[in-house]
Structure 1
Amino acid sequence: MTSVLPAVGVTAVILVTVRVAVIRATGTCRLRTDDDVEAVVEEFTGPTPPVLVPVVGHRPSCE
């Protein structure tokens, strides 16, 4: 039983570290569209955000 407690502790620390590293709410991303500004603003201010689909061959410029 004594060897289980350190393993549980290490597992908890690893899970917390991975969660913090994966889920970040910071940064910016530049999007391209053919729509006018009003249409884009309307999409992002609606009750649900738009679905952003990556285009093959285009690299997003995110920081």
Structure 2
Amino acid sequence: MLSKFMALAAATLVSLPVSAFPAAAHTPAAATTLPLTTAVERLPAASESRDGYHRDLFTHWVDADAR
């Protein structure tokens, strides 16, 4: 009896994430065809941020000109 309960509980837990969201929520946006230059111009640009970057963590990178 306990194994049937466990199987039912497992099946319920597995199916919850699938049934919790309606299929319409995953409808992809309509595709748009653009010339490459226009598409590149529309890409968002931001200032460079090196927060969290530490060069010492990448010891396999070789700086051949020692800059």
TM norm. shorter chain > 0.5:
no
Q: How high is the TM-score relative to the length of structure 2?
A: 0.32
Pick 1 or 2: higher relative contact order, CA cutoff 8 A, min separation 6: 1
Larger Rg: 2
**Going by fraction, where is strand more abundant, 1 or 2?**
1
